[in-house]
Structure 1
Amino acid sequence: MIVIMAGGRSSRMGREKPILRVGGVPMLLRVYYEAEKAGETVVALSRNTPKTRELCLREGVPFFDTPGKGYVEDIKWLLCEFGPFVSVSSDLPFVTTGDIAAVKQAFDGETNLTGVLPLWLVPRDLKPLTYNGYAIVGLNAVGTRGESFFELSNPLLALNVNTPEELRLANRIARLVGR
Structure 2
Amino acid sequence: MLVVFAHSGTGSTVATLHRGDGVVLQLPGYDRRHRVPHDLAHFATERTLGMPGGVFGSIAAGAVFSNMRLMSGHPRHDAAARSKLILDANKHALSVAEALAGVIHHAVETGVPDQALPLARKAWDSRETDGFPWTGDQVTGAVRLLTDMSAEFEATGTVRATWPADLTAAPPPPRGVRRGRRGRT
Mark the structure with the bigger radius of gyration.
2
Instruction: Give the TM-score, by structure 1 length.
Output: 0.29
Compare the two structures and name the one with the higher strand fraction. Answer: 1
Compare the two structures and name the one with the higher helix fraction. Answer: 2
Instruction: Give the TM-score, by structure 2 length.
Output: 0.28
